[in-house]
């Protein structure tokens, strides 16, 4: 698929991708997982895997970022059929917003009912520490304010309604389940719950922007997740979102600190086991 194509896709196109996958695997996943930066290890936990490199899947977009391998992994996690996106598509890579969310509608057509999204995010809330895991309770869609919403354009009722509700985007029951799982596994002391704000990126935020986002009520900021969640909610999937706080954003002009991608990847590596275990425990309880 052309990265910059501005055309939205038809039901038949999504269907062709879904049918091809259903023809090529016996797995019938009810849970889909989108792995964030450095969190692709979740896919390795699956048993009896069937792996499809994105480039082999008809009409599927392909991934360009280092550290974001591109494959769709089907398999079982504690007996639960899952499909895992190892490598996601970011708006900042130059993809059209419909391309970013293409896999979510494919998941819906595969029969998926629950979407779990993970990402790496910068902490805005002063009480957050690097390495905390934040359950997303709500989001602020900055690209949406600027007209970049994947639901713009013709609405196909086979996916969902024209004006979908977003006040319940992040499923309360799943969040409670996540809190219970975190407690059991002893990682509740670094579990937070807050508001995720999406910016388009790829540049990190300025100090003035960080201060603005804090004022607006955002607890963490990142460059993904929101488009996928909008499309998932539109077609009725339940959503659980988890942000790994990989750095604290700079809000002080006297601070010499600078945001950098290497720090993000390092922290991700440290906490990745805990996050993977948490997601896997949550899935066990679905």
Ligand X SMILES: *[C@@H]1O[C@H](CO)[C@@H](O)[C@H](O)[C@H]1NC(C)=O
Nearest to 282 by CA among 175, 181, 171: 181
Residue count at the site for ligand X (CB under 6 A)? 11
Segment interacting with ligand X (CB under 6 A) among 16-24, 32-40, 104-112, 275-283? 16-24
**DSSP secondary structure code for residue 38 in this structure:** T
End-to-end CA distance of the chain: give it in Å, rounded.
Answer: 34
Site string for ligand X, 176-195 (x = CB under 6 A): ----------------x---
Identified binder of ligand X from the candidate list 127, 167, 189, 215, rule CB under 6 A: 127
Residue 90 labeled ligand binder: yes
Looking at the chain, which runs of residues are DSSP E strands? 31-34, 47-53, 71-77, 80-86, 114-123, 133-141, 191-198, 220-222, 238-248
Identified binder of ligand X from the candidate list 93, 171, 219, 274, rule CB under 6 A: 219
Report the residue number, 233 or 248, with the smaller CB distance to ligand X: 248
Report the residue number, 47 or 252, with the smaller CB distance to ligand X: 47
Report the residue number, 88 or 139, with the smaller CB distance to ligand X: 139
Residue 247 labeled ligand binder: yes
**DSSP secondary structure code for residue 116 in this structure:** E
Helix (H, G, I), strand (E, B) or coil at 27: coil
Residue 125 within binding range of ligand X, rule CB under 6 A: yes
Residue 162 labeled ligand binder: no
Radius of gyration of the chain from its Cα atoms, rounded to whole angstroms: 18
Report the residue number, 125 or 225, with the smaller CB distance to ligand X: 125
Sign of CA dihedral 274, 278, 279, 283: positive
Helix (H, G, I), strand (E, B) or coil at 205: coil
Pick out the residues of the known binding site for a purine D-ribonucleoside: 205, 247
> Where on the chain is the footprint of ligand X (CB under 6 A)?
16, 19-20, 23, 47-48, 76, 125, 127, 192, 219
């Amino acid at each position: 698929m052309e990265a910059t194509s501005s055309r939205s896709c038809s039901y038949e196109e999504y269907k062709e991708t879904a049918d091809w996958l259903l023809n090529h695997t016996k797995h019938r996943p009810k849970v889909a997982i989108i792995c964030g930066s450095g969190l692709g290890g979740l896919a390795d936990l699956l048993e009896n895997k069937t792996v499809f490199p994105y480039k082999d899947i008809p009409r599927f977009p392909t991934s360009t970022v280092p550290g974001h391998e591109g494959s769709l992994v089907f398999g079982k996690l504690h007996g639960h059929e899952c499909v895992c996106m190892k490598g996601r598509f970011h708006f900042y890579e130059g993809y059209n917003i419909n391309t970013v969310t293409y896999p979510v509608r494919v998941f819906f057509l595969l029969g998926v009912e629950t979407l779990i999204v993970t990402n790496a995010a910068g902490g805005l809330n002063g009480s957050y520490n690097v390495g905390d895991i934040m359950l997303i309770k709500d989001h602020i869609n900055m690209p949406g304010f600027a007209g970049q919403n994947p639901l713009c354009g013709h609405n196909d009722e086979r996916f969902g309604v024209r004006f979908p509700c977003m006040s319940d985007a992040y499923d309360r029951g799943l969040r409670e389940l996540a809190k219970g799982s975190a407690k059991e596994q002893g990682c509740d002391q670094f579990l937070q719950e807050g508001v995720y704000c999406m910016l388009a990126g790829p540049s990190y935020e300025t100090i003035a922007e960080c201060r603005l986002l804090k004022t607006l009520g955002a607890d963490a900021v990142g460059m993904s997740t929101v488009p996928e969640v909008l499309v998932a909610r539109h077609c009725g999937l339940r959503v659980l979102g988890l942000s790994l706080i990989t750095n604290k954003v700079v809000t002080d002009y006297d601070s010499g600190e600078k945001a950098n991608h290497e720090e993000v990847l390092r922290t991700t590596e440290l906490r990745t086991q805990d996050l993977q275990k948490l997601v896997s425990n949550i899935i066990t309880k679905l």
